[in-house]
Structure 1
Amino acid sequence: MTMATKRNLSQEKSAVGRDDNGPFSPKAGEKSIIAPAVPTSVILKLLGFTFAMFALPISSYFLTVNTIFRGNSTYAGGLAAILANVVLVGYVIVAMKEDQSERLEAEEKAKKGQ
């Protein structure tokens, strides 16, 4: 036979009602800054490349299968695969350039601060 203990829930505070003074809470007199972790420009680039990754290969396949390749779906599929890789490589290049520009800005700020 198991015995259960009864908890008094009225004395416990929920996580929302609790006043934590943890290491990440603002100190007295400071305002809490709530900013997105990822800049909006990065999200827009990701959405643009996602759309291109979806739309470009599919549309190229259906536009070329009967017009350029005259019903040969192998060539049209190959072109779609090549365009998907072009979009992927383009995204990697844009991401690397963005990372380099952020690093250069941080170095310039460090030089100006000295």
Structure 2
Amino acid sequence: MIDSEVEELFDALKKYRSREGFLNDIDQTINTPGHIVWGQIQCPVLILHSQYDRSVPLDHALYAKRHIPHALLPVVKNKWGHLIWLGTDFEQTSSILNAFIKE
């Protein structure tokens, strides 16, 4: 990591207030009947995941993709993993997000 990326991480972490929300994000299993509701989703869905995410396994994103009709699942190579919006690798993520929103 370069110094500017480390600085960006610290700045971002200072602003987080999710506490329980963040813990909820990383403490999930895919053995729940959520796919019953997911199958009823009609709007466009973008599931972004980094192949380097060590907090939430890729299996979760793949499971959601299988159960949400027409969902898109680009797997990016952002070295920040779960913090997919940080670092210079965010340009790829940002490009995917912008293309999805414009559709």
Alignment TM-score > 0.5, same fold: no
Q: How high is the TM-score relative to the length of structure 2?
A: 0.26
Q: How high is the TM-score relative to the length of structure 1?
A: 0.24
Report 1 or 2 for greater relative contact order, CA contacts < 8 Å, sequence distance ≥ 6. Answer: 2
